[in-house]
Structure 1
């Protein structure tokens, strides 16, 4: 047995302190030496604590911060330090084993899900932190699903193994059954032989050693013992784990099968062969490496850092970046539409630099910081950018490398890297930017198609909670609007609307905490002098029955006549017919535009029994152009002209029956106006009602608290109880889920020595149930406080929108009164 630093024993973990003053962004690294990773997890699983240890062990920071003391590096916002939670994703870079790792620490609270979405969008890999006591939790499943939908390879780290009630084996089986994946155990826990079974370290399955950490140390001093010198019990566990690891990999790797057949002994397979097969399987999303530790006690973090470098992909190992060449039009009178088409960014696009803006931050000292991921080429200082999303040009004045809330200036951001553009006022989240990789002023010399490239946008979830915001005085109106504009640039999941009739401004967001943080930022950071109303719900309106046909004619100048005839009707269900219609917005409104209108001249009886000809006079106006015209013309009235409360319309079909444009008109502006006016008139006499969001609510509680929770949900909150079940039954009946439950049963895991040390932990773990209910969102405002009171702080819940449903007649008037209050 001997003691030394872990990095001295294992050169793959050699520490190279990050030189923050470097003028070149990873100039010495090829793309293969880059890892873009994110830390994802349920709230309080230990994301920020783990990140803090990673930065300390890599030499990036010299002092270990503490979440409870509010001095961690990555949680630098005042609200984060005050509440002890991550609110905004934070980025940093560090060096480990001669690799550059760009790391993003994401929030765990469900209200900040957009921060997770936009971070995952630019990642190549993710580390999912799990609480070894709680196991796979609701938000764990959600962020895992988000990463899986984007094809992100993952590593799992079972944290808090020092806690009473921690169960590594149980958590691993939950990873398999709930997150639906194969696993590869790279480390398993080691406990002291005392009666307390204290967590001391890990067995490194790949490198064949037992690593223990000095109690109370900073994580750098370790004791490393070859497995051959460990106890017989540890040797037996090691052989089981390594055999299971190789056995699992042989199901995925033919070359490893051949290696096994040479000796027919799993233990004879070399570490190099295992690492090669495991790396390939991880990158292909066929398996998830699993490690364990206790970040707060500085145990097990270095093996996790090694795994990030060894098994997560570089940008070069990810699938080619998908993009679109946006729809365009040829010039002249005989203009025609060139439809959008899918492409991939490849080496044939010479001299192209293409990047995605994934985050905008307003820094009080530095100004606007635009975070970008470069997918192709090299972004250089002073280059002229072309924003393909907005069609505008801008010049890069300065480029930065970011470490949490500190920065250092660089001359370029190379392909595959993440950095910051300083001072650009025209860029927003989701924008695609292109420039010339070599000539700083050469963007307009790129092929025309290059200036139409658009990367996959960042999806923004629709908001469900609202608050009214008013200036404290008339003089505060302009500063309030400017502050809101800055806030929305930072967080596109917030939305602001203004009602011209009532002169009221409404701010909407993902949840109560989300809006609370937004309000604090407006007041504290942007110094807005505002008055904030109570939380209100995202109600919508819909039609009870179809409207009559409305004909509208617009003549902006003599002879320039545009006419449209349309009707509105409710969509009772988004069926196959809707899939062929032009979807207007995320409210499931559509435009039904029969293409047969182009096949024949039509006549119709208009107002006053006059016959109106609806012939297609202008051949340049293609069906695609006309369909887009009617879609754009429909948006304003459907957003703000609901006949009940002027709320947005939902599940409404705009049926275009006929149209006419004068012969000499080559654009659709006047027809858009006619469409808007016709819809407004149709809505003015429409038979409409209110719709409200119905939430799928999942409440995790002890069996002793089920009665109170069910009574509250089904009684005072007007909910419908769908089921009460064990957490393992959430996906019951799903064939794939049953497959992974069976796989979990057969997955090797070590014994959980500490799982039942605490009677309290045993009870809270084994007797927990999930109450699934469907509840109107209006009844869930303030629910967390009530739940904590009913369960002595032990209950938790998640919810998501199931669907919008019509409000019952007896509830309509009280809701209308509250809206206009």
Structure 2
């Protein structure tokens, strides 16, 4: 029996949690099917999930099929929780994308399929709710071929649509052969030679073999119709999961390698990490490395998912998902690998990247306002723990204003954070108005240097830095133009770490990105030995000197380079009745949206273009009135564009403000430099 780590993905309310319940019931893991409306589902365990009827956190449950043990991961469907989906994608062997037969292809469906295809994750499609009034099959297939991918292979047809007796009738027909022939030369030859009788020219065994091969290569996507509520089509979907999706790979005897995709807190506040093991075997009491630092930790307990629950085991082998205890510094997205000794001896090495984002970062933020009786220290701890579980929730603490702000994907996420703080931590908070997160990029090249023991530098350190623009999307690159052996490595590390920290707030307060920072000058004061006094520590450099001086030098280099502020832009696709175009275009112009293509299809039209992220919510609110309630909008982050009109947006600083030398030195050294 092989393993399969399977993700269930969908637009919100398409029925993916209901499908999870049906799969667990069919596999014999649960006796009764839970209800999303009643809050009785197995995977929606948070009180807030049960109250709202939506999935907020990913959940893992295991069940056996005839030839495969499935670790099924139920993911959120609401776009505000896309970060949860992102973390799951990196640990999947295959996926089931759920589409509603009533609503059809929705905005989030398109986002998910684009990502699944880009990552080449083998994916089956389950068209759910065929028993509901308004359900369609052929129209949904056409919509999927037009808006998702042409490579959808219907595995049969739906009968009795829109009734309680709706069912799935399996069978590969001409449409399957048409799609598969595009990806298989042998089938294409048979197809071309027997155009009039192509179905009979290819045996069903040959067709199914080609289907399995191309599905596992993520080139085609089999489509099943059914209902998670009635169970229609689910047995056929299970057969597809067993036969068409690839098993988990990995050598249990190889060097340890894995990825943490979720972190939660246990009953007494301890961290519990959910990890997929890609290679090797991890055992209780093993010492491992994790994170970008890296940090070293000892695994104190391991539990492995099996038959609807998880049970303590001595270890977990490649291909499986486990919960790990004992790693106090672990964060969501961390890679894990063997100890330094094991890595050197067995070739384990450091994973190439700490974490790769598949979705755009959040482009909104809000300030958390504590209630009258809320202890600010407790709020700080609670927000820090939320950020540990979700690294894309960036928490900024302003020590001067005694405020904290959090980054967001949308308003629903803000409501969930508020409810989580109230329910799990007993903290009553509200939020200020949501604002857009911009970035800064260098406009040119700037250099600055301050020398050890030369006024006005009060620090025992020499630091020289040059800031250069770098290609868009490259992030921050730190380089050396001085000899690495010119001073202790710890001082170089202090400079690099402080550079990256300081760039979180540029000249206008936004994170500075897409730049190269080069250290051009270095120097320090070594310890001086005196015959009667030993070492004079007051006259020797420390890491604090380099951490204190670096922000002053860096912001001066940034001043000389100059920075430009860029705002996030969303790519949008808007479908509306063609006769509403005249009303739509002026509103789009006032909102700063730029339509790039306009196409008319019968009585409808499709506009595609870009719009400032700050205006998306306003467009969503105006759309129903402008389109008689028939308009459909989907949008996603696309790029950052320079702010060229109006006042350049500023963000309040939360650091010691190295832009004001006098204020900075008072805060850092309690003395004033020149």
Q: Is the 8 A contact 1:91 1:404 kept in 2?
A: no
| Corresponding residue of 1:638 | 503
Shift of 1:385: 3.1
| Corresponding residue of 1:357 | 260
Deviates more, 1:51-60 or 1:392-401: 392-401
Cα-Cα RMSD:
4.3
Matched, 1:205 2:171: yes
| Corresponding residue of 1:186 | 155
Give CA deviations for 1:145-190 in whole Å, capped at 9, x if unaligned: 2112222111112223334544322332333343334233222122
Matches within 5 A, 1:561-576: 563-566=462-465, 568=467, 571=469
| Corresponding residue of 1:174 | 143
Matches within 5 A, 1:1-400: 29=1, 33-191=2-160, 200-205=166-171, 241=173, 243-246=174-177, 248-249=179-180, 252-253=183-184, 266-267=199-200, 271-316=204-249, 350=253, 352-364=255-267, 367-387=270-290, 389-400=292-303
- Looking at structure 1, the residues matched to 420 and 307 of structure 2 have their Cα atoms a distance apart, in angstroms, of 18
Shift of 1:782: 5.9
- Looking at structure 2, the residues matched to 158 and 181 of structure 1 have their Cα atoms a distance apart, in angstroms, of 16
Shift of 1:307: 0.2
- Looking at structure 1, the residues matched to 191 and 383 of structure 2 have their Cα atoms a distance apart, in angstroms, of 63
Three-state SS of the structure 2 residue aligned to 1:102 is: strand
Which of 609, 614, 620 is the matching residue for 1:778? 614
Matched, 1:534 2:433: yes
Matched, 1:648 2:511: yes
| Corresponding residue of 1:659 | 521
| Corresponding residue of 1:440 | none
- Looking at structure 2, the residues matched to 367 and 787 of structure 1 have their Cα atoms a distance apart, in angstroms, of 47
Q: Cα distance 1:103–1:60, how it changes in 2: closer, same or farther (>3 A)?
A: same
Larger radius of gyration: 1
- Looking at structure 2, the residues matched to 695 and 767 of structure 1 have their Cα atoms a distance apart, in angstroms, of 26
Give CA deviations for 1:651-697 in whole Å, capped at 9, x if unaligned: 566566x42546989x9967776543212234568866644323333
Which segments of 5 or more consecutive residues in structure 1 lack a partner in the other structure? 1-28, 207-240, 321-345, 437-442, 598-615, 729-765
- Looking at structure 2, the residues matched to 711 and 260 of structure 1 have their Cα atoms a distance apart, in angstroms, of 51
- Looking at structure 1, the residues matched to 237 and 651 of structure 2 have their Cα atoms a distance apart, in angstroms, of 56
Q: Is the 8 A contact 2:298 2:326 kept in 1?
A: no
Three-state SS of the structure 1 residue aligned to 2:574 is: strand
Three-state SS of the structure 2 residue aligned to 1:447 is: helix
Matches within 5 A, 1:619-768: 620=485, 632-642=497-507, 644=508, 646-650=509-513, 654=517, 658-661=520-523, 675-683=550-558, 690-703=565-578, 706=581, 709-715=584-590, 717-725=591-599, 767-768=603-604
Matched, 1:484 2:383: yes
Question: Which protein has greater RCO, CA pairs closer than 8 Å, 6+ apart?
Answer: 1
- Looking at structure 2, the residues matched to 384 and 53 of structure 1 have their Cα atoms a distance apart, in angstroms, of 40
Shift of 1:416: 0.7
| Corresponding residue of 1:227 | none
| Corresponding residue of 2:664 | none
The size of the alignment, in residue pairs, is 635
Matched, 1:415 2:318: yes
- Looking at structure 2, the residues matched to 37 and 483 of structure 1 have their Cα atoms a distance apart, in angstroms, of 32
Shift of 1:351: 5.6
Q: Cα distance 1:302–1:180, how it changes in 2: closer, same or farther (>3 A)?
A: same
Three-state SS of the structure 2 residue aligned to 1:636 is: helix
- Looking at structure 2, the residues matched to 660 and 391 of structure 1 have their Cα atoms a distance apart, in angstroms, of 26
- Looking at structure 1, the residues matched to 581 and 553 of structure 2 have their Cα atoms a distance apart, in angstroms, of 53
- Looking at structure 2, the residues matched to 561 and 664 of structure 1 have their Cα atoms a distance apart, in angstroms, of 10
Matched, 1:799 2:662: no
TM-score (norm 1): 0.67
| Corresponding residue of 1:467 | 366
Shift of 1:139: 1.6
Q: Is the 8 A contact 1:356 1:455 kept in 2?
A: no
Q: Cα distance 1:294–1:725, how it changes in 2: closer, same or farther (>3 A)?
A: farther
Shift of 1:511: 2.2
Shift of 1:296: 2.8
Q: Cα distance 1:257–1:772, how it changes in 2: closer, same or farther (>3 A)?
A: closer
Shift of 1:514: 2.0
| Corresponding residue of 2:449 | 551
TM-score (norm 2): 0.81
Q: Cα distance 1:183–1:781, how it changes in 2: closer, same or farther (>3 A)?
A: closer
Q: Is the 8 A contact 2:260 2:274 kept in 1?
A: yes
Q: Is the 8 A contact 1:293 1:301 kept in 2?
A: yes
Q: Is the 8 A contact 1:189 1:199 kept in 2?
A: no
Shift of 1:634: 2.9
Q: Cα distance 1:511–1:244, how it changes in 2: closer, same or farther (>3 A)?
A: closer
Three-state SS of the structure 2 residue aligned to 1:520 is: helix
Q: Cα distance 1:270–1:456, how it changes in 2: closer, same or farther (>3 A)?
A: farther
Q: Cα distance 1:121–1:57, how it changes in 2: closer, same or farther (>3 A)?
A: same
Q: Cα distance 1:146–1:565, how it changes in 2: closer, same or farther (>3 A)?
A: same
| Corresponding residue of 1:220 | none
- Looking at structure 2, the residues matched to 463 and 805 of structure 1 have their Cα atoms a distance apart, in angstroms, of 16
